[in-house]
Chains A and B, each alone.
Chain A
Amino acid sequence: MNNKEKETKTKQIIVKVLVYGFLVFTAILITIPFYWMILTSLKPFDMIVNETQPSVFLRFSEMAFENYANAVQAAPYFTFMLNTVTVSFFATIGTVFTTILAAFAFARLNFKGRDLLFSVLISTMMIPGEIFVITNFDTMARLGLLGGDKGILSFLAMNDGIFTQSHLQANIALILPFMTSIFYIFFLRQTFKQIPDELYLAAKVDGTSDFKYLRRIMVPIATPTIITITILNAMGTWGAYIWPTLITQKTEYRLVQNGLREAYTDFAGMVAYNEQMAAALIVTFPLLVVFLLLRKYIMRGVSRSGIKG
């Protein structure tokens, strides 16, 4: 039996080596873009241009930290970040508020048309967002959020250098369409449903109103999920690009991703790659920090969304 045992044991070790090897290999592939981004952002420009083979490592003394200083000067990232945080803050508050109420209604309350309404909402998730954008743009104009009078023409005057949209208007236009989300309602409803009925009945027996029950019991229990929703929503605003480009007149109103793209639109000429990478890193860094600190919530939220499709 000794030989057979040895054989299986070696086989096991080989398999283990292969598995870890594969995982390490793919993990390296995944991290390469990040590493390269950081590496390039710290290289002096002539190093990038003159090296026939880009170096893979950098000595501390060679690091060109001024790239970051230059990048920050190229575009007002602080303004963009401020905008993004503001928009994200209000949009997320709105979303959390509307989502909790709506999820409660779907999870706990009995009303006519509940299931039908829910199915309708779910099916709209399949529709490409571009369909909504067309009309929402027009709605924004009608609400007077595009500047000046209620017309698209005054919005367009930005091309002639006439800016009539105020920062507040721009912000409202950025926030309003995103103060609710079907996806999160669906997600929170699942969590709410897992709270046992007995709790509800017991509360009812004590004469607690529905709202009190929601506030005092359901929300505290579902807090991890609510935190996940908050984080995911905030992160989503950070990555927003299309809508901000569309409905803001001035560059200063825009968000972080817009700022990055516009600062480095490709010309036929030479782009300062190291600076570009530094800028990209500045924009990405807050997200990474949030992720590393709160990854438990984020990862759990993503994996939960897949269960029970």
Chain B
Amino acid sequence: MLERQSNRKAWLYLAPALVLLLVFTFYPLFNALRLSFVYWTDTNTVGGFSLIYNFYFVLTDRMFWKALQNTAWIVFISVPVSVIVALLISVFLNSIKKFQSVFQTIFFLPYVTNGIAIGMAFAFIFNVDYGLFNMVIGWFGINPINWVNTGATWGHAMTALLIYTVWGGLAFKIMVFLSGLQSIDKQYYDAARIDATPRWRVFTRITVPLLSPMIMYITITSFIGAFKAYSTVVGMFGTSLAPNGALTKDSLITVVGFIYQYVNEIPVNPSAASMAAASAIILFLITLVFTGLQVLVSRKRVHY
């Protein structure tokens, strides 16, 4: 780029951001790592260091596996579904001229609202007695189902949560896909039209490959985000992360929710910090491995 080295000046410019990042990002990272290796003899006394104790403790906790299971469901269902639906919507959206901006605004609405407020709205839609959803399925002769209220079972609760999650995730994806589609060179489509290529072929052989960098970016970031699912569950079910009075087997706790249970304990039980750190690191490793796999897979399929 530009010739002159401006070392001292550059660091001056970076200083404000870096200081903050050092304190609130880098230091916590190393501290969390350190904490995960600390061995506590009881809730208040540090006994020494142990490479595996905390990790072992977390990995043998049934609650952790429940949380992991729930998170897995959320990740592997909501992400593919919302990516595909978003892709379809953006392609259709890209093909019309009139009302495109009106539709864009509508589809983007869920992005600006989030978390608790809309979670409550969805919880009400899925209400067993007064909800919209049960009314609609009633038109098809299906009896009302208890989705999220007291006594709801895991299957129904998870379904409701997944629907909410997919709904919320569409807006961002549609935006990115749409702008990606609009930046595809028209020449490709013109050439296809000259050859009278059928629409489906155009989609699979031209659109998708040219859009593949976007698709990869969206898929990877969506998976990473889905692993962190937590506030959506709180929005729908409250801090208990489960339908009222539910047993463990019906809980929708996620890995992040699991971590926060420990974090909330820290004031009374300092040793919980190590557990929280260990769980968070496990989550990070899982996410890392998964993302790595995705990058490998995409190497073969993404065209730049």
Which A residues fall within an 8 A CB radius of B? 15-16, 19-20, 22-23, 26-27, 29-34, 36-37, 40, 48-49, 51, 53-54, 94, 97-99, 101-102, 104-105, 108-112, 114, 117, 121, 124, 126-139, 152-153, 155-156, 176-177, 179-180, 182, 185, 197, 200, 210, 235, 239, 241-242, 246, 257, 260-261, 264-268, 273, 276-277, 280-281, 283-284, 287-288, 290-292, 295, 298-299, 302-307, 309
The answer to the question of B238 belonging to the interface, with a C-beta cut-off of 8 Å to chain A, is yes
| B residues neighboring A (CB under 8 Å) | 1-7, 9-11, 13-18, 20-21, 23-29, 31-32, 35, 85, 88-89, 92-93, 95-96, 103-118, 120-122, 124-125, 127, 130-132, 135, 138, 150, 167, 170, 172, 175-176, 178-180, 183, 199, 213-214, 216-218, 224, 227-228, 230-231, 234-235, 237-240, 244-245, 256, 259-260, 263-264, 266-268, 270, 273, 276-277, 280-281, 283-284, 287-288, 291
With A27-B107, A265-B239 as contacts: A131 and B92 at CB distance below 8 Å: no
- Chain B residues, CB < 8 A from A98: 16-17, 20
Contact of B3 among A34, A102, A110, A130 (CB under 8 A): A110
Q: In the complex, what residue of chain B is closest to A260 when comparing beta carbons?
A: B116
Q: Could you tell me the distance between the alpha carbons of A102 and B95 in the complex, rounded to whole angstroms? A: 40
A306 touches B179 (CB 8 A): yes
CA distance A244 to B160 in the complex (A): 27
Partner among A37, A97, A185, A265 whose Cβ is within 8 Å of the Cβ of B121: A37
Count of A-B residue pairs with CB < 8 Å: 288
| New contact pairs (15) apart from A34-B109, A101-B14, A284-B113, CB-CB < 8 Å | A54-B132, A99-B17, A101-B17, A110-B6, A126-B291, A130-B283, A133-B28, A133-B263, A177-B24, A179-B20, A200-B2, A287-B113, A288-B113, A291-B108, A291-B112
Give the chain A neighbours of B131 by CB distance below 8 A. Answer: 54
Neighbouring A residues of B7 by C-beta, 8 Å:
111-112
Describe B's contact surface by its main secondary structure: helix
Would you call A153 and B267 a contact (CB within 8 A)? yes
List chain A residues, Cβ under 8 A from B115: 239, 241, 257
Docked CA distance A40–B291 (Å): 42
Chain B residues near A185 (CB, 8 Å)?
Answer: 17
Least Cβ–Cβ distance between A8 and chain B, in angstroms: 11
Flag if A291 contacts B130 (CB, 8 Å): no
Cα–Cα distance between A36 and B176 once the two chains are bound (Å): 28
CA distance A104 to B10 in the complex (A): 9
Q: Are B263 and A137 in contact (CB under 8 A)?
A: yes
Contact: B21 with A110, CB < 8 Å? no
Sample 16 A-B pairs with CB under 8 A, ordered by A number: A22-B88, A31-B109, A49-B130, A110-B10, A121-B21, A129-B228, A132-B32, A134-B273, A177-B24, A180-B16, A246-B263, A246-B264, A261-B234, A267-B244, A283-B116, A307-B179
Contact B175 A112 (CB under 8 A): no
Residues of the B chain whose Cβ atoms lie less than 8 Å from the Cβ of A127: 29, 284
Residue in chain B with minimal CB distance to A33: B121
Given A101-B17, A105-B13, answer yes or no on A290-B121 (Cβ-Cβ < 8 Å). no
Contact (A104, B13) CB under 8 Å given A260-B116, A306-B217: yes
Beta-carbon contact of B175 and A257 below 8 Å: no
- On whether the beta carbons of A302 and B176 are closer than 8 Å, the reply is yes
